[in-house]
A and B are shown apart, each in its own frame.
Chain A
Amino acid sequence: MNMRRIFMGFFFAALVLGPAYAAGGGDAVRKVGLEEVLSIGGLDDQALFQWTGVATDGAGNIYVLDAMDFSLKKFGPDGRLLKKAGRKGQGPGEFMAPRLLACSGERLYATDQNVFGVYVFDRELRFLGKIPCPSLILALAALGDGRLAVAVMGMASPGKVLVLDADGRVLSEFIPAEGPGKGILMDSMSFAQDKDGQFYVAYLFRDSVEKWTREGNRLWSKAFLGQKKIATTEVQSLALPSETCFKDVALDAFGHVFVLGGKLSKHPSRDVYVLDKYGALLATFTLPEPSHCLHIDGRNYLYARANDGITLKKYKILYD
């Protein structure tokens, strides 16, 4: 009887975990490839003009912010435009410079580059309100239960990662960069949070990818580009960094960390570094075209830019 239970236990474990490992779910990934499955917008249509942020829901719908026509668009799983909302302005549901987008449950969260806060929409693109934020937002993630994580820009002080509740109250915060005095914009970052609540942080102007606990303890730090010093350009007597290291970071359903390289990677804005949760480099692959961001949905489809932002490509991630 016990043997039978053990056997059944193995059987169900294999049933549940098998497809994941067959698809490359373990950390034994050595090679990652992409297979294009959907393309939205292009040279011959007007679906997208300059998309900036992308998010997906559990039903396979794709939500996109478009900076050129100041809109939020909803596409079905087949890529058909279902709805469009927003226009240029500073009123409810309007944008001046739409940037980041995240989806959690029935809610969509969007940022406007120059707005101290996060706009909330429902999945039918109805504007619901705004969550206040104490500073401008550089990165955004929806954590569930109405909580948000945001990376905020620091001017006099270094940038921080804040966890906000649905009313904008700061629940926790930490400063990933090693204190002030590192230069303007040097704390620009993107991040992703794993199921344990730990953060993977990739810096725009530093050759550094790090893992942090939500309490603000750094678990590891890795460099992949061999860059000690980033070139700067003088703009109105300010020395601003001019070469990007890492543009975005995203996690797949197995917990692999996908980091999009910037201008300093071998194929600028196309190389993607795949890491395990300890920061070990498992594989690299190259996007067909440069992208400014990466998004991976719960089914391990990767979304990236093409045609300089008038096209959004959806790829199936192939693991080997």
Chain B
Amino acid sequence: MIETGRAGRWARAVVCAAAIFLPAARCGRPGAPRPSPAAGPKSMGWVLVDVESFFCGACLDPLLEFCRAVPARVQEDRLRAILVFGAGPSSEDAEIRARIVKTKWQGFSQANGIRFPALADADRVFRGTLKTGAGILIFAEEARTVRWYPLPLSKERLEEVLRILID
């Protein structure tokens, strides 16, 4: 039923105002209520994992140690694994390798209680950054910096990373 009276016009005006105003408020536009710090962009971590290290018994121990120190909720919200791997020259090889390493990660993460999902570095962008083992690329929003933390982390460096991720 379409309302055409004065009450109907008011109702439509309120809905339209809300439709315009609320998204603007979420985006923090001028005139909108100030967002709380918690609603702002979050610091994130990309955990770069060399897939060849899966075959080396102790090579990923520092990664597991790091994961044990990060609360499950933070892992889910703030971390992503980037699986770094080598592949043949063709894009088809790279695509198949990407699917293989994601399958391996499923088993590895399930068995080790890791909560963050993984993406495969299909174009091998990070091959030069990570030679072996694992490391964390931290996008620190407050400091507006990107920093690289190779694993294993010292106690101080671990506290620093946790502070960035949890704040």
- Contacts from A to B (Cβ < 8 Å): 43, 46, 49-50, 66, 68-71, 87-88, 96-97, 113-114, 307-310
| Residues in A neighbouring B110, C-beta threshold 8 A | 69
CA distance A74 to B148 in the complex (A): 43
Residue from B96, B103, B108, B111 whose CB has the most chain A CB atoms within 10 Å = B103
For the complex, give the distance between the alpha carbons of A114 and B107 in Å. Answer: 21
CB distance from B100 to the nearest CB of A (A): 5
In angstroms, how far is the closest chain A Cβ from the Cβ of B105?
9
Task: Flag if B57 contacts A88 (CB, 8 Å).
Answer: no
Q: Knowing A68-B54, A114-B57, say if A49 contacts B99 (CB, 8 Å).
A: no
- Chain B residues closer than 8 Å to A70, beta-carbon distance: 111
B145 at interface by CB-CB < 8 Å? no
B57 engages A43 (CB within 8 Å): no
The CA of A67 and the CA of B53, in the complex, are separated in Å by 13
Further 11 A-B residue pairs, CB within 8 A, beyond A43-B99, A69-B107, A308-B97: A49-B107, A50-B55, A50-B107, A66-B107, A68-B54, A69-B110, A69-B111, A70-B111, A88-B111, A97-B57, A308-B100
Q: Is the CB of A46 within 8 A of B106?
A: yes
Chain B residues packing against A (C-beta within 8 Å):
54-55, 57, 96-97, 99-100, 103-104, 106-108, 110-112
Q: Is the CB of A68 within 8 A of B100?
A: no
- Measured CB to CB, the closest approach of chain B to A64, in angstroms, equals 12
A69 to B103, CA, bound (A): 11
**Shortest beta-carbon contacts, A-B, top 5:** A49-B107, A68-B107, A69-B111, A69-B107, A43-B99
Check if B107 sits within 8 Å of A43, measured CB to CB. Answer: no
Residues of A within 8 A of B54 (CB): 50, 68
Q: Which residues of chain B are near A68, meaning CB under 8 Å?
A: 54, 104, 107-108, 111
Option from A49, A87, A97, A114 in Cβ contact (under 8 Å) with B108: A49
Whether B57 contacts A310 by the Cβ 8 Å rule is no
* Residue contact B57 to A113, C-beta cutoff 8 Å: yes
Give Cα distance in the complex from A69 to B97, angstroms.
19
Which B residues are in CB contact (< 8 Å) with A310? 100, 103-104
25 contacts between A and B (CB under 8 A): A43-B100, A43-B103, A46-B103, A49-B104, A49-B106, A49-B107, A50-B55, A50-B107, A66-B107, A68-B104, A69-B107, A69-B108, A70-B111, A71-B111, A87-B111, A88-B112, A96-B57, A97-B57, A114-B57, A307-B100, A308-B97, A308-B100, A308-B104, A310-B100, A310-B104
